[in-house]
Structure 1
Amino acid sequence: MAGAADRGVCGVCFNHCKYETEGSGFNMFAWEEFKNAGVVPCNERARFNNMIGEKVTIVANQQAYTVKCYKGHRKSAMYGRGWRKFYEDNKLGKSHMVVFFLDQPSPMASILWFQVGNGSEDEQPMEEGDAIEDSDSDNEDGGGSSDDGEGIVRTRGLLLNEREDFQLQGLLPLSDDFIGFAFVHRLTRTNICLGMMKIPKKVAAATLFEKQGVVGISVDGGRFKKISYKTADDGRIVFDSKKWKDFAASRGLKVNTAVLIGFKSSERDDVHVLVILKKLG
């Protein structure tokens, strides 16, 4: 990857993906959401998608980790409980790079990792510290701030009452079926009356949304409704306003209702991500 460290970090895969492939391995930089999902470099996505199935077993420091694989048209990644254990066991952080060799003679993948640099700004993804995310004071349509202690993202300035907070703690941590970050939000007039509902870019990046597509959304895992979405210029996911508004009305969602929103992978070709809402309070 000669010279790649001097180039910008891709806003899709959070790697230096503009270099030419050399040899059988590829590199992935550890970034803020790396513990939830390791996104495959854009220039390696097609090879990755063709090479592996729904799961792959990787080996690092003589330990084996079976991770789930997401293979999309715009973004592919490894995630799940095995991935998080791999991240924690190897104490990965922002100053680390992971080198993957998926075509070794062994039927399983072998992973090497080592430290590079000193965590300078040039090694960080361009999304980190983005002004729209961190300084957005109007969060009615789904801005967010991180709460890494719980592994969730909350609407900036969100306050839960005692009953809502008690119910939230009873739902956490989410099961291994869920991917990325969960999002805690209090529905507003913008969400309910105008039908404008957005998912923060921090959540979108870790949840492996394609640039545009369809989600299957439900309350408490009940009957799903398909809603189309697109990615806004600021990186947030925007649901189709009419379909979201119809969904909210049919499920009894109201202004000021606090919700926990989680995400699951979908096995259906016509649905990219499953979205599960749980009412709080």
Structure 2
Amino acid sequence: MKGTVGRGGVAIDISIRVLLPCSVTERFPKHFASDFLNFRAHGHRYVVYVYTGSDNKKRIGGDDLSKFMKDFNLGLGQLVVFVMTGCIAKAFVCSFGAGFIDGGGAGVAQQEEEQGGADEEGHVDEEGIDVEIMGEAPIGIIYSMGVSLDLEEEGRLAMMIDIEQGNIASRFVHRFTSTNIMKKSMKIPNQVCVLLNIGAEGFIGVRLGEGPLSRVAFKTAKDGRMVFNKEWGVFVSTYNLQVGSAAVFTFSRSNAAPFDVVCVVDILSI
């Protein structure tokens, strides 16, 4: 049958398949030593078939790969980060300008960072972009609208994803704008904030990497986004943050009084 391979007398569907780079199979041979690759993705486990094509290159396919793509509504051009450094491989589904719903496959519209306020040229952005969240809020990765990473930045993000930071909300990947740096205002999407449960305004502990905590004031805008101001400007100046640098924001519970939540900012651009 076209699009199938035989294994032990059983036909395995490979009509949907992914070519594996040689650098991956050579660096992580333990994951590809058998006919199957196990990986986890946002609480789900998948076992995909590993086979060698006529060109002597390894590929993955099978029913679980089809299920994985269906579960997360994956399509052409969407980004999935596979982290192979652990005992079991992990896959992280990413969306540029959208958050995914864990297991539901539904898209979540992501507003542009400056929507609802004046941009750098003083234009007022259009209001009324609907945001649809189905089921529980996701814990995954959300990108600012239009943000893309280069290969080095993607590599640093993949390594950070593999580090357990006890995150309680989606990680937020963003490239700093002049509003963030020059106007000293930073906005966190409401899809990230929905799980934080820290009230409409107050203070949050923010740190760069593993550095010391800084107290940063926040308030909640009408559209549900968390807005850092005041002390955010001090944070920007202290660490000389630059327009155009990419960063990932990770939120976790805090044991350091007086903060209930800590936001870790890791810079992806070098």
Structure 1-normalised TM-score? 0.48
State the structure with bigger RCO (CA 8 A, min sep 6), 1 or 2.
1
Structure in which a larger fraction of residues adopt helix: 1
Higher Rg: 2
Structure 2-normalised TM-score? 0.49
